[in-house]
Structure 1
Amino acid sequence: MFTGIIESTGQVAEVLATGTNQSYWISSPISHELKIDQSVSHDGVCLTVEAIDGQRHKVTAIQETLQKSNLSHWNKGHQVNLERCMPMNGRLDGHIVQGHVDATATCVSVNDLEGSREFRFRFPASFASLVIEKGSASINGISLTIFNVTRDEFSVAIIPYTLEHTNIKDVAPGSVVNIEFDMVGKYITRYLSLQQA
């Protein structure tokens, strides 16, 4: 389980294709502290550390993950948001994030508000029941509050600290990001759909 509070950023150093899978070597300040078989959130996608080589670690995404996330767009040099699992005695500063990306969203606009930056995203309308005003969503692994919600769009406002310490500063109109909707909302939606069946 993650909180959506980004710990560090890394950079894709190498991309390797094996069958339908893609493996990535990630260079980061925390790579040498990781352990093999550890779960780490990469842009909101929970991936298992397979190998460590100094300041780099290797992870692999299977076809299912590649289809539901933006990992197939990653190239050498791509900046990646990283978060290790929350320790059981840690604080939940963001919201409950599983690292199981639901879909991708596309940035439709970015506005500089002289102190913050507002991003607007379009997401698949099939997830509309999971998006509520002032609710939470994980964008590239970042826990964010959403507002100005429509059937298939919402906005988020980013403070300067988050801009400086995550890869959301690189998001521009047309950028594709990973999105994980709030887990509690998913359980409620599932429960209600079964009651109507």
Structure 2
Amino acid sequence: MAPRKHRINGWAATATAVLFLTGLRSAFDHPALAALVLAAAVAATVVARRIRRKARAARRGAVNLHQLEPVEFEHFLADLCRRDGCRGVRVVGGAGDLAADVLYTDPRGRRGLIQAKRYQRGNGVGNEHVQMVNGTYRDAHGCAHASIVTTSHFTPAAKQFASRVGIALVDESRLNAWIGGRRAAAPWN
């Protein structure tokens, strides 16, 4: 299983502050430890900036979505939600995420969930993913609606079941329309 992912902006700021204070306190007694702490803080900041920069570039169409890491794709989708007026957008994906990668409140004030599937073309998202989202989005996450967003396509069984239970499926074509500014293509519409 993938390691638990945290919201990068808050994580980087918190990690940097904790590491700085720990390093400052220990610097006088343990200079080697202080250097290690400082290096870790710098690395955390660099990683956070890299992820944000890639997400911004992808939003402009300058990056191939298939080349993003899964966590970068989740942050990219969160940025699209923010761009289109969602509030309270949080990236929550990772092990034990109960089929949620992005949680948000849409422009109409309804809580929503996105399960992100950054798949290569030709690898379809199957019915099992729709079933997992359907089993958790209302009760575990308190959402009014849910969607699965992929860089690929959905199997016929996934489409049929999603239609029956009301889960929005955003395939590569609809995702590209959403990226291009067609708000009607957003998962909550």
Q: Using structure 1 for the length normalisation, give the TM-score.
A: 0.25
Larger radius of gyration: 2
The structure with the greater share of residues assigned to helix is: 2
Q: Using structure 2 for the length normalisation, give the TM-score.
A: 0.26
The structure with the greater share of residues assigned to strand is: 1
Structure with the bigger RCO (C-alpha within 8 Å, sep 6+) is: 1
